[in-house]
Amino acid sequence: MIVLTLYIVGLLGAVIAFVLNNNLKLGIVVGSALPSLVFALLVFALESYLPMEFSTQAPALFYGAAFIGMASNKIVDSYFLIGISGLLFSFIFLHTAPYFNGFGGALGTTAALCFIPIYWISKVFKRNSK
C-alpha cells in the first residue's frame, strides 16, 4: 500500500509542477520548488502519523518528480504523458535510490532520463497525427 502511495506522489509531483509552470505561469523554478516545499512541510508536520518508509522517501520522490514538471508545454503538452513520466520516475527512484546514495544530481538526471522517452513518444504521436 505504501508503494502505491509513493507512485501517486511521483505522479502528482510531476503533474502539479507542470500545471503551476505552464497553466499558472509561475515559471520552472517556482512551479517546481513551491509544491515541493509545501509537500515536504506537510510530511514533516505529519511525520509522527505517517509510516516511516513514506516520510523518508516521499519528499525526495516528490521533489525529483517535480523536475519533470519543469517541461514546457511547447515541448510536451499532455498531462497524461507528464504523469506517465512521473510514474516512470517513481519506479526508477524506488528501485535505484540506495545505489545513488552520496551522488549529486541523481534526482535531476533520473528525471531527465524519464522525460526523454515521453518526449520521443509525444513527437511520434504528433508526427503521425499530421
Predicted TM-score (pTM) of the model is 0.91
- pLDDT value at residue 129: 66
Nearest partner of 59 among 113, 115, 10, 99, judged by Cα = 10
Distance from C-alpha of 104 to C-alpha of 90, rounded to nearest angstrom:
18
Tell me how many degrees the CA angle 70-119-87 measures, rounded to the nearest 5: 70
- pLDDT value at residue 62: 98
- pLDDT value at residue 28: 95
- pLDDT value at residue 97: 78
Average pLDDT across each block of 10 residues of the chain; the chain has 130 residues. List them in order.
95 98 96 97 97 95 97 93 97 86 81 93 78
Sign of CA dihedral 66, 72, 76, 80: positive
- pLDDT value at residue 130: 62
- Which sequence spans correspond to the domains of the chain? 2-129
- pLDDT value at residue 31: 96
Residues 94-118: tens digit of each pLDDT: 998 777 776 678 889 999 999 999 9
- pLDDT value at residue 123: 87
- pLDDT value at residue 101: 72
